[in-house]
Structure 1
Amino acid sequence: MIIRTAMAQINTTVGDLEGNKKIILSSIDSARSAGAGILLFPELTITGYPPEDLLLHTGFLRDNIRVLKEVEAYTTGSDTMVVVGFVDFSLEIYNAAAIIQNGEIKGVYRKMNLPNYSVFDERRYFTPGSRPLIIMSGSLKIGVNICEDIWVPAGPTNDQAIAGANLILNLSASPFTSTKNLTRMSLLQTRAMEYSCCMLYCNHVGGQDELVFDGRSTAIMPDGHRIVARSFEEDFLVIDIDTDQSTRYNLLEGKRKGYCKKAEVEEINVIIPQRKHQEFLPEETYRVSSEEDDLIDSLVLGLRDYTKKNGFKKVVLGLSGGMDSSLVAALAVKALGKENVIGVMMPSRITSDESKKDAVELAKNLGIETFEIPIESVFDSINGLMRPVFSDRTHDVTEENFQARIRGIILMGLSNKFGWLVLATGNKSEMATGYATLYGDMAGGLAILKDLYKTQIYRIAKRINEQTGTEIIPRNVFLKAPTAELREGQKDQDSLPPYEILDGILRLYIEESFSLDEIVSKGFDRETVEYVLRLLQRSEYKRKQGAPGIKVSKRAFGKDWRMPITNKYRD
């Protein structure tokens, strides 16, 4: 049996029910034009993902049902079976998928496995569904499930396969993290071959606050053949699937023999149009991109969507001549265009001529508008204002931080006056150790490097230059020692271990949850590890007040990291 299928890998916005509806209806039109018998959307298509505490408002839930009814009515006169994500509710609420055809909701599947780890809080809101679903169309049996359901070994996919499904449809909203795509693809391939099923996996794409969804929706055959949609952009994938492949592969390999007892499944009946020939069956399209390219694409998409979905047109950032601000500026230009990026140079007497030169050269290379606003007179004024209170106390980090806070005031003033979004430029190494000034360089609406260690930033900056074929980020920015330049001769390594060592310790503790002793066993000096962990633990109050950042790692500061500020435990 040959079925023409379509996957709408779309970029929806949380809470924009009308905007999301327009995208859904446009995709339905495209599926009709393509002659598709099945159209699959991502998870929670109507509400956007994740809707979080919007789900606690009954008005939001009712409006989501209203939009579902409008989508239902729009399918009148069409044989295309539309599978769309929404929030189902009565006495409880459910993460659900509606199966719609010819102006009628034929059935509803409720997600059974609700993730409650990392950035996921689905058990806070949803009640799990109780039964797998099978759609019957003649000899064709289709299983529908949602995201996490396909990751669980003994989950609904297993039950649907035992019930005879030869096609599985999975609606997903799987956020990007570095190298996760390799795991995801391996899992999908394993599931398709293990259960001898053709599978359609439709993933969300776009940025939503801290999260970025990379798309890469996939059709995968029982023999492991993969057809993959574009990454980090919308796509509409049309594929003719021969579902008899499942039967042939199952008979040949004996894949379903010896499975557990058949589970009770809900069955609904539809009539899905068949085709005589396979016309749309692309060659395998899966390509492994480099970690640096994926990180660049995720940051660009995350910044672009955060800016546009929150109503900003332009962004502004401080240009220090250092690596972090240089990379943020380069990424902002890729995301928004040079005409929408403003750089501000705010030198003091501490600022070196080298830093000024590097900042000017970067701005010229990028073609962005710049302002120079010296802070020396303001700095002197604040020092004079505070002198009677400080009395004879010596200058220390207090006065150093005045400079960072003056710069924060200037950037926020520009934001208020012109409506520009301020981009903070701090990185994960700094956020971890507290090597950042609260209400100073931490000020801003978005910190796009917040989940990148300093060593990663140099690799990504190098890759940006390789992509452009020029030294967009000046060579000298790579060569000079990193510095906050808040006192004469200051270098980051005066206060921190070398970044190669620091980042190695932080990665093991934050992302792998290693103990102090376990980190030491990896070859790190105990005294250095103890020092780094002290910095990490005493800086929690700063991180709680920092700008949101784009998650790209296994564990990011923000939704992923929920440490108490008041905390006496020490490793």
Structure 2
Amino acid sequence: MISFFTPYRHDFVRIAACVPRIEVADPTFNADRTLELLRQGHQERIALMVFPELGISAYAIDDLLHQDALLKAVEHALSRLAEESADLFPAFVVGAPLRLDGRLYNAAVVIHAGRILGVVPKAYLPNYREFYERRHFAPGASIREQMITLAGLQVPFGVDLLFRSAGSCAFTFHVEICEDMWVPQPPSTTAALAGAEILLNLSASNITIGKAEDRRLLCGSQSMRCIAAYAYSAAGPGESTTDLAWDGHGGIFEDGLRLAETGRFPPDSTMAVADIDLGRLRQERMRRVTFRDCADELKVVPGNFRIVPLHLDAPEEALALRRPIERFPYVPADPAKLAENCYEAYNIQVQGLAKRLQATRTEKVVIGVSGGLDSTQALLVCCRAMDKLGLPRTNILAYTLPGFATSEGTKGNAWALMRALGVTASEIDIRPAARQVLKDLGHPFAEGEPAYDVTFENVQAGLRTDYLFRLANHHRGIVVGTGDLSELGLGWCTYGVGDQMSHYNVNASVAKTLIQHLIRFVAASGDVDEDTANILYAILATEISPELVPQDASGQIQSTEAMIGPYALQDFNLYYLTRYGFRPSKIAYLSWQAWRDKEAGTWPPNIPETSHRAYELGEIKKWLRVFLSRFFTSQFKRTAMPNGPKISSGGSLSPRGDWRAPSDAGPGIWLAELEDGVPDAESS
């Protein structure tokens, strides 16, 4: 049985972009260096490896390409590569000049398990600036349904080949060569529409100033358009530098994301290795219906290609995952990207609210301010929206509504923030009304008993919403909601009250882990003075609590995360369940990879030190179980959620947008898959 702790169990396949050291016009030396990397790939359980264009002969050898001795040596080297790789795990592709019917082709040779499987000619030959490939080679763009003899066997030859593994490590890949990627419609586009999931490019690509970034742009954009992995390998150390230079640039991209890259100008052989998430690519192709529409429009079907089979079985042993996993999928670790995301998210919220006010011809908003994260961010958005519309901030009617468990700290922060922002601030003590409601209900608390049940909590939450909606009626305004995406996902919101219901909710698509950074973004933006920024930092330092139940005898407050789990883990679970539809065992595996090591990976800037902790697999499984149970049973709350702008490509839970689901579905099959698919501990 394949171990839970290997990426191959979770729809990953390991690939490599290889840059061997070569010698000019020395196929024996070049085959030796190729075999060295192949043996390394075997040890590292790499399933698919791509080598540079014409790597067996060298690329920059000019008219030596027409020398019979060289071409025979190349053919011998290919036979040797096939023979000596018979017991090696990887399938691999090498570049070589090959003859057929009186023509010479710049070709990619696919080899696995001791057999040459097929040969793909370069479709488009550059013949401009420093390139003059048509002097030596024939173009291959029109070659289909042909065969070529190599190593004593006839094998498929043409641009109409897809290579497909039928083993337990199942995937389909396509091969193109260098210039093929630079043309308006690369051959890999049609191949992807026909089913290729991994696209390989054998390149030589001499280096000039700025060209590396061009390659990244092309590879990344092609992988995104094709919803595929794209592995690119270019010539490196040993190539002729008569008139050109080479930087050995190899890289691996997946749906626009750069996963791995070689160091440039390496002194010796090197390779970039990454685990490709085939499950993610397959989910994306299934969801993006325009991908199939394009295939239909262009009349692309698998029958347009010859399928060349191979058989790869996934390694069963535990392996370390070779790709970065963001601990906070809604919060990028890169500081520049995080700053850009915060700028965009904040302004999306502001634009959404401003438009709603214009559309409803409303000039006032009503908001409850608790001194917690969500209401703080919503209040900041209200202020910026009023500024944008040229309205006074006094049109923001902000209320703190203390209840039985409201602390002096959060209440003080709420008042300090409202005063600092210049809004119309008021306080309504909900306790007298709550006591009356509890008395009318015959609740034990009304008789002096410490009965802190769900009724006790929801009477307070409901009254706050009642007041806010009636205040909005009274002042001809709208209620701005404060509940965030994480709370909606976990059902951590009382049905019909302010964290679920409002006239417009600016936070509805913002995860809890991101809201903290939005507040930091405003605090550091210069749009608020130093005193206001210090208030915001004080709010950020406050433990997350609904403050509906009084402290216990030991002074312990009602902790949200103690009941529903750490938001760091639950936002991770929410993202991968709703964005990609991953099964729970895969989510648990990814979470374990991201969170098992306190020191590994990167952290977004300004994450509190208390968040810098590791989670064991048992904890991850426990909180994922909680998440699944709460997520599915809370759908009815999301079905009735108010309007609010979508913020992140990670998705929203709006029933009019990213997430449409029945309120009657239960978590049974997801919980069963979690229990069956995830061990209780690392040693299991």
Rg larger for: 2
TM-score by length of 2: 0.41
